[in-house]
Amino acid sequence: MRTDRKPLAGKVALVAGGTRGGGRGIAVELGAAGATVYVTGRSSGAGGSGLDRPETIEDTADRITAAGGVAVPVRTDHSRPEEVAALVERIATDQDGRLDVLVNCVWGGDPLTDWEHPLWEQDLDTGLRLLRQAVETHVITSRYALPLMVARKSGLVVEVTDGNTARYRGSFFYDLAKSAVIRLAFAQAAELRPHGVAAVALTPGFLRSEAVLEHFGVTEDTWREGAAVDPDFAYSESPAYLGRAVAALAADPDVLAKSGRALATWDLYKEYGFTDADGSQPDFAAHWAEALVDTYGPLGDPL
């Protein structure tokens, strides 16, 4: 039964790539809003992902439970179609064919990104591997998950990206991956609209992922100390902010009107009124316009 406190009660969500960072924040907030959340990724108590990170899908599941949600962690390599097919079959069996929210947040490209060299000086195999990890996984997951939404003629697909404009993102393969994800949302929106299913791309601002916090030598409790190293960090946002944006979209009965758009937390908080975990409402685009535009140029119009 839906309540104001649990607007997603009775809903089923799949967060692909929910081990850490934005994916974890989304999974936890969907659970807090009442959804049953299948959280997937390669990092599990049963084995790692090769990223040498401590976070696991079970950790995320524990956080969902602590937030009052229902979590189902399923170790899945989203580059393997057979594993994704098995995952979706399990969801269909468990939930009587129901899937209301699909979040494509698989990334894992940080160690593959070369920020120092132009395309012609980069290792081609590494760059292509990044594209397979960050784009092909999203295609595979949607291919198997979308039929559940189409059959029910409702649902929301969220493609998590970095930036919502055509501005170059600083590295060839990174830029190509993040831009391609926006196009994935656009293309899915076109095909899904006749079936009543929405698809959007969504970007956070300066996201305080676990790796970013480590880089600044702070924790989520002490993160403001990082502004002494980088003043822009004072305008960063936690993964919960991104999660609350997704939860707000999923609870919006008119979300189909946004289908095909590239959205951002810094716009959605104004419409839906959600806050970050500390009660603030970070707006990195406003900070950019005030402090960074003269150095880096404008962010550009949303795609």
Amino acid letter, 116: E
Composition of the chain by helix, strand, coil, percent to 5 = 50, 15, 35
- CA dist list (Å): 97 to 69, 145, 148: 20, 10, 6
CA-nearest of 8, 11, 13, 33 to 141 is: 13
**Does the annotation mark 241 as catalytic?**
no
Considering only the C-alpha atoms of the chain, give the largest distance between any 2 of them, rounded to a whole number of Å.
57
Q: State the CB neighbour count (10 A cutoff) for residue 187.
A: 14
Kind of pairing, strands 12-16 and 36-41? parallel
Options 38, 174, 241, 269, the catalytic residue: 174
Are the CB atoms for 33 and 27 separated by under 8 Å? no
CA-nearest of 36, 56, 40 to 48 is: 56
Both tokens of 263, joined, read 């959205």
Write out the catalytic residue numbers.
174
